[in-house]
Structure 1
Amino acid sequence: MKDYKEEPECHEETTALVNKDKKTTELKANDVACSQVKVSDEKSKVSDLIFRGGPRIIKDMLDTMVNPVSYKDKNGVFLLVNEAHARTIIGLPKEEVIGRTLLELARKFSDIPRKYIVEKRDLLEGCNEWIQIETEILNHGGTRTIEQELIVADGTTKTFILNKSALCDEKGETIGIVTVMQDITELRKTEKILKESLSSKNELSEQIKKNEEMYKTILEKTGQMVYNCDIVADKVDWLGSVEEVTGYTPEELKSAGVNLWMNYVHPEDRYKLWINNETHMKNGRNFRLEYRFQKKNGNYACLEENVTDILDSSGGISRVIGVVKDITEQKFASQSLQESEERYRTAAEQTGQLVFDFRIETHEVEWAGAIREVTGYSPDEFKNLDESLWIEHIHPKDRTETIKNLENFFRKKARIQAEFKFRKKDGKYIYVEIRGVWLKDEKGKVYRAIGVMKDITEWKCTLEKIEASEMKYRSLIQNFQGIAFQTDRNFIPIFMHGAVKEITGHTEEELMSRAKWKEIILPEDLPLLLKEEERIRDSTCNKYAKVDFRITHRDGKIRWLHEIYQKVLGKDGNPKLYQGTIYDITERKETEEFLANIKIARQREIHHRIKNNLQVISSLLDLQAEKFNNMECVTNSEVLEAFRESQDRVISIALIHEELHEGEGTEKLNFSPYLQKLIGNLFQTYRLGDAAISLKTELEENIFFDMDIAVPLGLIVNELVSNSLKHAFSNGKNGEIRIRLSRNDKLGHLREEIGPEGESTEFNLTVSDNGKGIPETVNLENPETLGLQLVSILVNQLEGEIELNRENGTEFSMRFKVENKL
């Protein structure tokens, strides 16, 4: 191993370099310089990336580099390696190298056949050598450039120049070591061949000169320039893209000298550059610096300078080598990126969004944007929430589904769009939406996910209100049994929704034309419809219209429709469109027709009943007239009595009609309340002086009779009660009249109002008094009085039976049957 810090002074010609194993290797000074320059250049690239871009951008970029590159922290732990270093040098995947020390990796190799890696010596011994060098760098800073032979992963032996540099933070404190390796195997092989094949020194020098030209070409092609400052000779050589970087030729810079170079540095950066140079010359610490330099054309360029030194045998600085490159575009791009990120961050904050950036390799998530506004946490608090705590902030009802979506996002690398409730720091829940996508590198490999999480509470609440409104509208439309429609100014349908198919049998699309709609309207109703349309269209005051018309349903049946619509005016005051509703009123029309028929039938029935009742009254008057015909002498009192009796009989019929009327059109009469009114009216008519006649009734409730039963039965009660009031109690004698009406069945009170149709129910009617009793000469089969004659006739009409009991006064008991009808 060759450490150029400990080498003797290098001359232009071949110099013997002796390593710790006393092995001698001939190395031309310019070769060393060029190798160091290239390695230093690679190191400066890495350093710049680490300081400027960070892990975000350098990992993928380093993987594209041919030179092996690594970065260790102060404890010797690998924090970063590129593919060339991991696979080519160590022979392991990056993931197995990162996070381990060199000794740990050496122990890992102790169990496999390949135990040698450093100059064919024991691996642990080689590791200890590297650790010593790195410890020195960590303690004293600076850069160490060494040459070393290594057995690489494929088992071949290769020669490398290793540039190990201290990496410092903003305070200048060393935080790690960057190692850049340059494979010079072919160069050494070439030198060996040249040494063996060339017989003269001139031939060897010529070949070395060619190598120098090659390095010079490489420097020029990479846009870098190198200066080699000989401290002893006070001489500076310029190589590489000198004119491209500065605008000056190497000869111009060489003639200008170091002091004039400082004059071209931007005034604000001169002091910084001067301090670094002074510190370097005193302490020998290598440094990297950026400053602005005025090019020959007067424009300023941003340069990056990496400086390292070459020590003589006494440990003093004999030569300073610097690599300078123009990083103006890089700085501009970095500044543009920062400005873009700032704009993006500001936009995210102003729009109430959180931006997340997830890296697969590090498994780290970075958050930015309106963190405090959305979550209530400070950025640091929110970023420190681990996965389990973050999941706990999801509402329990949404947690399972959200976890499922997140797992699908990370496992399948698919897009994500999910909504859930998130608990803020104050404990309140908000609605959030998370969206994310995966990014791929130039090789198509997924390496990163970015996305946003935003507060959608207000939008969600508005949406819920809209959905509730839409639900009400949908419910209204779904339960709406009509058709909502709109037509243009020519009454051509432009919108139709609702129970279109149920009402017409046609679909909405089929009826979206005036011609098709008019086709289903009955021809005899179409003129009425057209007349109504013309009226509302031409009218300046009438904006509403309604019309009933008929259509032919698709099934061939006729349907009645009721249409209500209004005129909607445009800005010009002319009809813009018409809108309204159509209802199927077929059932209503059929009901109206049915009710009209019922009304006619009822009127006929009423006329028939009146005619029958008038016929009864006429018969009663005939009977009364016949009674007078058989009398030789008729007094006024007898005439008055006859008229009063006829009046009572007519009243009994009138009460039936009154009860039926109060029963709101029912066909049957609740007979018991009717009897109460009838008897009360008779008691008012026949006042018997001071006689106290009481009434006792036992009338079963809910006995209903139609007119054919109620009229004759009412007349019978009228005659029997009138007879008792007139004849049973003479000379002011007190007494009692009893009336009883019931079903002739012990369980009759438990029966329904009407039994099964076709069957009949037997009833008992009893009218009695405790008066002086009816004379023995009275015979019910052949009565002489008009009242008893009428009773006998009516009982026969009802197909009933009547009995007369003269014990304890007078009692008439009647039995009759009534057929049950629904």
Structure 2
Amino acid sequence: MLVYFVRKRPDVPFDWIFLMFGTFIIACGTTHIMDVWTLWHPTYWLSGLIKAITAFVSISTALELVSLIPQALALPSPAQLEEANYQLAKEVAERKKTEEVLRESEQRWQLALRGNNDGIWDWNVKTNEVFFSPRWKEMLGYEEYEISNNLDERVTRVHPNDVECVTKTVQDHFAKITPFYINEHRVLCKDGTYKWILDRGQALWDENGNVVRMVGSHTDISERKQTEEALSNLLDQLENKVEERTAELTKINESLQAEISERQRIEEALRESEQRFRAAFHQAAVGIAHVGIDGQWLLVNQRLCDIVGYTPQELQLLTFQNITHPDDLEADLQYVNRILAGNIQTYSIEKRYLRKDSSIVWTNLTVSLVREPSGMPKYFIAVVEDISERQAALRERKRSEERLQASLKEKEVLLKEVYHRVKNNLQVISSLLSLQSEYIKDKQDIEIFQQSQQRIASMALIHEKMYQSPDLAKINFSEYVQDLVASLCTSYERNASAIALNINIEEHILLGLDTAIPCGLIIHELVSNSLKYAFPAGRKGEISIEIREIVVGEILLNVRDNGIGLPSNFNFTDVASLGWQLVDALASQLAGNININSDIGVEFQITFPII
């Protein structure tokens, strides 16, 4: 059991003594067994050997105990062990507490470094190494890895003009001339610009008076410096302004006495004006009143009393809600709420009041709000005008407008009938010319009759478009030109695939009758000439018609073909044909200008004002 105990407790001191005691116990027990054994079997030599071994172990153990006793006595007692354990547990708790405080302090320091808007630096003077906080590097635009911990990194970033000042300030602090190191200077940023900083620090000296460490921070004061510079400029400007203002005040002071006299005169005039205002208030031709925020009549003039049929005393016992017609009250209150909320400054509505005799009077009400200097509503000013007669006149005017509308409708029907009959009459004339041409044998005369018939048809087409137009005074000229050119192509039996027609007319151009007829005849003449002469012997080509507004109030009419063109000696003013004379006369009728270009084919440009 002692051997088992020693094996399980390797920390027990003097473990060998336990093994010797175990050997001694076994030897003693064996000696007693042998004494019993020799009663029957006389093995005395074996018994004596065992006793000799037992004696040897017993003496050896006793000798060892002699040297072991002082060491055993030196072992702490259970009370001492308990006290030692208590002190040890106390030290362990203190150490844990200290470690916890250190961890919290470290966390606060790290949070302070991360959260502080200032850059932190820690300079080990002996090793010349500097710790720069992330904010210090960030303030200058650098990443964490872009700046080393060498002091030169900081010195080389100081503006050359500020290095001497910074060096002297540090030296004064190291020499204890100044209690703190503090300096304002410029530092080079990553982007090449300089930033103003406020640099502060505190040195740490050893027992020999040598500086071993210096810790500090720097703050970005660029905005403050800019503000100071702006303020400096502003102060200079203010000084100039003060000088100018002093001169002005001198002049103002000289005129104060005159102004005082003038003010006294104005005050007298104001008193007279107030008296006139009171007289005007009570004698005004319209009703005027001061109305409280709750709707109470505070001050009324005589005209308002005449309009609603109450005396001033009776009216001041009522509110405006009491005498407002029920159907008009909600609208009136909505305006009141809007003016109180500041959404509007004043409002004017037509409303009905209930007179004292229960009759209804129509009024035009204009209301504005008077406020206290603090902005709180004080009272309303209401101007009430009797418009009963105006309402009757409005009803009469409405009936007159209805009669005018009926008359206008009749005239519209009549004008459409006129357009229709003119168109029919022109078609009759065209038919007569067609019948007459059947009795004419001369080819040239027949052609003249056909041209006249086509011109009449172009005018009839305008009257037809006028008849169909929603606006009886103007037509959509684009539709008219398309129908006119299609009719001409049919008359001259031109193949649509041989001659391409390009019509480009701005949709918003609407022409009246006096402008549409000359324009239509001009287009008729120019397109007819192109169809007859520009493409001989079945030649293919293109005819373009363009009408657009080039400037406000001025129209460009452009008719162009890419045919054989005009003769080289062609002179428009010397041509005696009826067609050319019509174009010239119609352009003059439109007060237009003609420009002819025959570089490729023939191009007529006519500009004229819109009538």
Could you say whether these structures have the same fold, taking a TM-score greater than 0.5 normalized by the shorter chain as the test? no
Give the TM bin, normalised by the shorter chain. 0.3 to 0.5
* TM-score normalized by the length of structure 1: 0.27
* TM-score normalized by the length of structure 2: 0.34
